[in-house]
Amino acid sequence: MATSETGQLMKNDQSQIQSFKTECEYHLNNELLPFWFDRAKDNNFGGYITHFDKDGLDAGDDEKSMLGQARMIYVFSSAYRHGYGGEQSAEFARHGVDFLLDKMWDDEHKGFYWMTDRAGKVKIDEKILYGHSFAIYSLSEYTLATGDQRGLTYAEKAFDLIQKYCADTHFGGYFEMFSRNWDLKGPGAAGGDRKTLDIHMHLMESFTTLYECSGKEVHRRKLLEVIELIIDKILHPEYRTGIPQFFADWKVAPQIKFDIIWGWDRFTEDGAKGQAEDNTSYGHNVEFAWLLMHALDVLEIPIARYKDVIRRQYDHALADGIDWEYGGVFVEGSHAGGVYDREKEFWQNAEMLIALTQGCLVLDMDTYWPVYQNVHRFVFDKMIHHKIGEWWPLLTRQGEPIWTHMSHNWKINYHTVRSMIETIKRLDKLVRSKE
């Protein structure tokens, strides 16, 4: 190909990437962040209102989960750190931190309560590791963004509690479900005998930001430890895809719903899940891949050391998880191949956008850019409720809404706003790489 033709192709690539970036920036600045600035701040009791119906109206639920509050602190902190929303982002982040520390911190037994009502009265006093991982993540991000040392102080307190009460010193990894005084809960639906991919992946995520904020060696060591544990224990030994649930000794466990629900997956009425011992999430796998690459960047460790594992996550997701007929990302399938659930969830599509732009940057532009275009168009044409500003939570394969709320304690702005911030960052690098 002649040099002039090559230059024209690069120019066309640059123009196309810039167009996608502009679309993301418009959505973030004119739809997504305004949705939350207009609704989320609870001026009566502090913290955030997190339940909104399909029209973006307050659904009236009298509860605030520490998970929801923490995730929103992360979002406003991250927005401020990356230059979005101005001082309003910082103000909203501080507002959330004030409520979290004043109303949700347990002065007697330490740690954060799981649930309060809107006024801050405790409704569920149990200690859930999933929530504490996000407390570490959000409070570290808050200090990085604003310089307010309260964030790092309480992130380190939560980290120390996790090491004291949650770490399994026999089999490794972390237990997840505890009573208020940090006694481990019972087996089965109580969750005391289970370990999950979800928790350990989010601990990797939170320890990354904690180490970035503190620079302490102990935080670096624990981050490296959880990375190796995920790779050695949680990824399928043959296919290298994520296995959802385990017993304490790392034997694969049937995936069940816990009594204290920290996610809103679709289970049968008896609390079990179909294909309980052979299912893997395309969204979780690529989310793990890009979060791992981010952790390695913070640790200053070459990606090449883990490149095979990272590529396996992408290869599996692209082989079966992308819908080339209707667009977007399927929910889950078998480790060996084949799709179980062809519906489209907001968070999996959000994470795929970040992962694909990351793949374009560090792995293979030719492979991942066409897939990014597929998922981007599905998200912007079907998944975003542009009139309201947020994303539909769950769609049919064809893109018709199944669940219609705009937000609740789990489906808030953590995946959607983060997806836009992180995707824009990577699209900008791709544009500049074509110059």
Query: What DSSP assignment string belongs to 257-286?
Result: --SS-SS-----TTSB-TTTTS-EEHHHHH
Please tell me the distance from the alpha carbon of residue 109 to that of residue 257, in angstroms, as a whole number: 27
- pLDDT value at position 292? 98
Please determine, for residue 270, whether its predicted confidence score (pLDDT) is greater than 60: no
Please tell me the distance from the alpha carbon of residue 418 to that of residue 424, in angstroms, as a whole number: 10
Interior CA angle at 270 toward 250 and 237, to 5°?
25
- pLDDT value at position 13? 83
- pLDDT value at position 185? 97
133-158: pLDDT as tens digits: 999 999 999 999 999 999 999 999 99
| DSSP letter (8 states) at residue 306 | G
Predicted structure pTM score: 0.95
DSSP string, 334-375: -SSS-EEE--EEHHHHHHHHHHHHHHHHHT-HHHHHHHHHHH
Counting every residue, how long is the chain?
435
Q: Are 175 and 108 in contact (CB under 8 A)?
A: no
Top pLDDT among 268 and 346 is at 346
Top pLDDT among 151 and 4 is at 151
Please state the φ and ψ torsions of residue 341, each to the nearest 5 degrees: -130, 110
Please determine, for residue 106, whether its predicted confidence score (pLDDT) is greater than 70: yes
- pLDDT value at position 260? 82
> pLDDT-derived band of residue 186, with 50, 70 and 90 as boundaries?
very high
Q: 346 burial class (0-12, 13-18, 19+ CB within 10 angstroms)?
A: buried
Please determine, for residue 273, whether its predicted confidence score (pLDDT) is greater than 80: no
Q: Which two tokens stand for residue 31?
A: 């739809």
**3-state secondary structure at position 125:** coil
Section 179-198 average pLDDT: 95
Please determine, for residue 275, whether its predicted confidence score (pLDDT) is greater than 90: no
For tokens 């029209």, the residue is 55
C-alpha dihedral sign at 221, 355, 361, 238: positive
Q: Which two tokens stand for residue 132?
A: 């504490």
- pLDDT value at position 9? 41
- pLDDT value at position 385? 98
- pLDDT value at position 107? 98
Q: Are 345 and 357 in contact (CB under 8 A)?
A: no
372-399: pLDDT as tens digits: 999 999 999 999 999 999 999 999 999 9
> pLDDT-derived band of residue 266, with 50, 70 and 90 as boundaries?
low
Q: Are 72 and 85 in contact (CB under 8 A)?
A: no
> pLDDT-derived band of residue 232, with 50, 70 and 90 as boundaries?
very high
Cα 277 from chain centroid (whole Å): 23
Q: Are 434 and 14 in contact (CB under 8 A)?
A: yes
Q: In what order do the strands lie in the sheet with 64-65?
A: 64-65, 115-116, 122-124
| Element of type H or E holding 91 | helix 86-103
Please determine, for residue 12, whether its predicted confidence score (pLDDT) is greater than 70: no
Q: Are 168 and 175 in contact (CB under 8 A)?
A: yes
> pLDDT-derived band of residue 284, with 50, 70 and 90 as boundaries?
very high
The DSSP bridge partners found for residue 401 are 395
Query: What value does the mean pLDDT of the chain take?
Result: 93
The DSSP bridge partners found for residue 184 are 178
Please determine, for residue 10, whether its predicted confidence score (pLDDT) is greater than 70: no
**3-state secondary structure at position 247:** strand
Please determine, for residue 262, whether its predicted confidence score (pLDDT) is greater than 70: no
**Greatest Cα pair distance in the chain:** 73
Section 13-42 average pLDDT: 97
Please determine, for residue 261, whether its predicted confidence score (pLDDT) is greater than 80: no
> pLDDT-derived band of residue 6, with 50, 70 and 90 as boundaries?
very low
Please determine, for residue 91, whether its predicted confidence score (pLDDT) is greater than 60: yes
Q: Give the number of other CB atoms < 10 A from CB of residue 211.
A: 22
